């Protein structure tokens, strides 16, 4: 006699334990477990060949058919069961987008829709691989954010694959992941721009060679610019900037800031500036914390530095700010985990 667990006809079977098939008289010749989603469950026989156990758990919300045959039997025995749906679920929203091309500083950043208490289980279910191969490690910035990066910037031309195997992973008590997918994105050319706010200039280097040098204006003594390594996380040909959104009252409200590229979540941008005198750039730091380049109103004058730098940039490009008179930016403030040493980065992994 062959018995199957979950039993034949079960409507709300658990998906948190393996499927087992046992024969009480003789040995098992074959076992197949297939889901209505086309998946199959692999398994192993014990030494006596009387018990088969699936090596992974069944998926939630899936109907399974178990076909088992005992040695010497002419007919296989077939049973079915349906696993219950998870109650509460979570997903991870990831950056960068699938099939996109980014600069060499772009980490893989995942924001979860529910706080994760079992960080090890969730991190184990996510892998990031690169071609050419390089060691990539995860770092938890909070119970809802997990980033991945290599020790140094990605090599230009790298292909990166994010594999999410979160389906039915219990992130916290009774809350399960739903995603099982692979996402690929690409790394373009290497562009690293260094802003020296003592010299008030920015040197843009691409693939190791100097592409351009621009006069800039950074944060004033009262509103210093964060120092450290920052990564472009958003780009706007034109955007509105209001001082009230960054805790500075009604000091400014500019509806059409040209060529704005975000460097921190807290509101640091490198952007074009048409309202300051041209003489400011390269000679004075006058901003409220952003890095400004001379630009033209309307964002369509291709001869000005703001336009040129924007046109030469992409998401994931690196901007390094030094001599700003301010401390290093918090690594969690934007996609700026490069400010952590490799040892400190790895210490933030749950694995």
Question: In terms of domains, do 235 and 291 share one?
Answer: yes
The pLDDT > 90 percentage for the chain reads 93
Average pLDDT (158-171) is 98
**Choice among 139, 259, 288, 290 that is catalytic:** 290
Residue 119 is inside which H or E element, if any? Answer: helix 119-124
Check if 288 is active-site: no
**Choice among 259, 271, 288, 294 that is catalytic:** 271
Residue 118 lies in a domain: yes
Q: Domain of residue 294: give its range.
A: 191-338
Residue 67 is inside which H or E element, if any? Answer: strand 63-70
| Number of domains within the chain | 3
Residue 253 reports pLDDT greater than 80: no
Question: In terms of domains, do 201 and 297 share one?
Answer: yes
User: What pLDDT is stored for residue 288 in this prediction?
Assistant: 84
Give residue-wise pLDDT tens across range 109-138.
Answer: 999 999 999 999 999 999 999 999 999 999
Rounded CA Rg of the chain:
27
Residue 346 lies in a domain: no
Tell me the helix, strand and coil percentages in the chain, rounded to 5. 10, 45, 45
Residue 38 lies in a domain: yes
pTM of the model: 0.90
Average pLDDT (13-36) is 96
User: What pLDDT is stored for residue 199 in this prediction?
Assistant: 98
**CATH number of 45's domain:** 2.60.40.3780
Residues whose CB is less than 8 angstroms from the CB of residue 310 and which lie 6 or more positions away in sequence, other chains included: 235, 237, 258, 259, 261, 272
Boundary-marking domain end, from 82, 101, 117: 82
**CATH number of 213's domain:** 2.40.440.10
- Output 39-45 pairs: Cβ under 8 A, ≥24 positions apart: 43/18, 43/19
Question: In terms of domains, do 116 and 130 share one?
Answer: yes
Check if 271 is active-site: yes
Phi then psi for residue 341, to 5 deg, are -65, 160
Average pLDDT (157-176) is 97
Question: In terms of domains, do 305 and 234 share one?
Answer: yes
User: What pLDDT is stored for residue 23 in this prediction?
Assistant: 97
Average pLDDT of the residues of the chain: 96
Question: In terms of domains, do 224 and 144 share one?
Answer: no
Identify the three-state secondary structure at position 95: strand
Identify the three-state secondary structure at position 132: coil
Question: In terms of domains, do 213 and 273 share one?
Answer: yes
**Residue 308: which region, alpha, beta or left (left: phi > 0; alpha: psi -120 to 50)?**
alpha
Sheet holding 180-187, edge to edge: 101-102, 180-187, 159-165, 126-131
- CB-facing half-sphere around the CA of 89: CA atoms within 13 A: 12
Give residue-wise pLDDT tens across range 271-304.
Answer: 999 999 999 999 999 898 999 999 999 999 999 9
Could you give the CA distance from residue 276 to residue 283 in angstroms, rounded to a whole number?
12
């Amino acid at each position: 006699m062959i018995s199957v667990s979950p039993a034949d006809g079960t409507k709300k079977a658990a998906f948190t334990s393996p499927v087992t098939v046992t024969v009480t008289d003789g040995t098992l010749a074959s076992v197949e477990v297939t889901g209505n989603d086309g998946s199959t469950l692999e398994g192993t026989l014990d030494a006596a060949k009387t018990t088969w156990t699936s090596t992974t758990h069944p998926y939630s919300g899936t109907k399974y058919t178990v076909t088992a045959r005992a040695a010497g039997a002419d007919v296989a025995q077939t049973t079915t069961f349906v696993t219950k749906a998870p109650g509460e679920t979570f997903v991870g929203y990831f950056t960068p987008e699938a099939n996109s091309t980014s600069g060499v500083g772009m980490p893989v950043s995942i924001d979860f829709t529910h706080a994760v208490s079992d960080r090890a289980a969730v991190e184990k279910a996510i892998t990031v691989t690169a071609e050419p191969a390089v060691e990539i490690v995860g770092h938890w910035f909070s119970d809802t954010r997990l980033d991945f990066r290599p020790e140094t910037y990605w090599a230009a031309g790298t292909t990166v694959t994010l594999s999410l195997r979160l389906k039915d992973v219990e992130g916290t008590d009774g809350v399960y992941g739903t995603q099982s997918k692979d996402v690929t994105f690409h790394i373009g050319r290497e562009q690293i721009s260094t802003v020296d706010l003592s010299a008030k200039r920015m040197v843009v280097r691409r693939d190791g060679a100097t592409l351009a040098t621009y006069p800039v204006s950074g944060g004033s003594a009262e509103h210093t610019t964060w120092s450290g390594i920052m990564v472009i996380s958003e780009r706007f040909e034109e955007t509105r900037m209001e001082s009230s959104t960054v805790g500075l009252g009604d000091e400014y409200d500019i509806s059409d800031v040209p060529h704005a590229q975000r460097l921190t979540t807290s509101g640091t941008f490198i952007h074009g500036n048409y309202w300051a005198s041209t003489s400011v750039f390269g000679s004075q730091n006058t901003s409220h914390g952003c890095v400004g380049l001379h630009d033209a109103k309307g964002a369509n004058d291709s001869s000005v530095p703001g336009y040129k730098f924007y046109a030469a940039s992409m998401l994931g490009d690196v901007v390094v700010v030094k001599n700003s008179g301010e401390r290093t930016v918090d690594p969690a403030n934007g996609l700026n985990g490069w400010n952590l040493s490799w040892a400190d980065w790895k210490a933030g992994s749950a694995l």
